[in-house]
Amino acid sequence: MQKKIGFIGIGRMARSIIEGLLKNKHISSSVIWIYDHKLMNIKFITDKYNVNYCTSSEDLVQKIDILFITLKPTIALKVLKKIANYIKKDMIVVSTMAGITINTIEQIIGEYHKIIRVMPNIPSIVLEGMTAITPNNLLNQVDINLIVNIFKCIGKTNIIKEHLIHSVVGISSSAPAYVFMFIEAMATVAIKNGMTYSQAYQFAAQAVKGSAQMLLETKKHPEELKNMVCSPGGTTIEAIKILEKNNFNGIIMEAIQKCIIKSTELSKIYE
């Protein structure tokens, strides 16, 4: 890739993308530009990755072909207004802003710009993320493939309709928090029964990782895979009985639905 990429805001997600691009040798550091209002962040990233930096968001926009807005929504909207007149017509604007619709961005920078909304999750930090990608109708297939390949450097991707982003928040962006709680609960019991802290978390975390990989590779329904583990009169059945008695599935579904509702409510604030 010869296109120049710029990041406004270099928090964890921007750092993950930069690291993924460089680790996969997708691009060289010489075509990456960054800007952040915190000088210590700029120094940290430039020292670690040998990328270029700018002293203002306006300056950065004039040097690049693909712009990543990786800021919190309230800050990002102010920044977009500042740089709107500097964004070139053929530039691809990539937004990781939660709750900010493509329409809202178009209202600020103009509806004639190529805008693509993405929703990664925190496992992107270890290059095992899942990113939802939603382009507006000005991006052609070459543009879309370009962005998809960038996010493949930090995990898996899937192109979705924008109205499904709230569901993505519920089952992907926020989901690692539920999974961490599940692992913590499993490990805590093992520790109480004599296992060391490190052993307990290794066994619990690997069980979750391996189960997820098994589901993805076999493409079997979770119910079928669950039954493969359960032997009649065995140990697993006893655990399943308790989970079913306490409405395990129902609790998870209710929690995710609440998350989706909140995501929908937040998006209305920025309309």
What are the residue boundaries of the structural domains of the chain, listed by start?
A: 5-162, 173-268
Residues whose CB is less than 8 angstroms from the CB of residue 41 and which lie 6 or more positions away in sequence, other chains included: 10, 11
Sign of CA dihedral 114, 70, 258, 255: positive
Nearest alpha-carbon partner for 144 in 188, 92, 101, 185: 92
pLDDT of residue 271 exceeding 80, the answer is no
pLDDT at site 209? 97
Q: 120-123 — which CB contacts under 8 Å span 24+ positions?
A: 120/13, 120/16, 120/96, 120/151, 120/154, 120/155, 120/173, 121/172, 121/173, 121/175, 121/176, 122/12, 122/176, 123/155, 123/176
What is the CATH number assigned to the segment(s) 173-268?
1.10.3730.10
pTM of the model: 0.92
pLDDT at site 1? 57
- pLDDT tens digit string along 130-189? 999 999 999 999 999 999 999 999 999 999 999 999 999 999 999 999 999 999 999 999
- Band (pLDDT 50/70/90 cuts) for residue 22 is very high
pLDDT at site 268? 86
- pLDDT tens digit string along 190-218? 999 999 999 999 999 999 999 999 999 99
Binding residues: 8-13
Binding residues for NADP(+): 8-13
Mean pLDDT of the chain: 94
Out of 1.10.357.10, 3.40.50.20, 3.40.50.720, 3.40.630.30, select the CATH number for domain 5-162.
Answer: 3.40.50.720
As a whole number, mean pLDDT of residues 236-259 equals: 97
pLDDT at site 99? 87
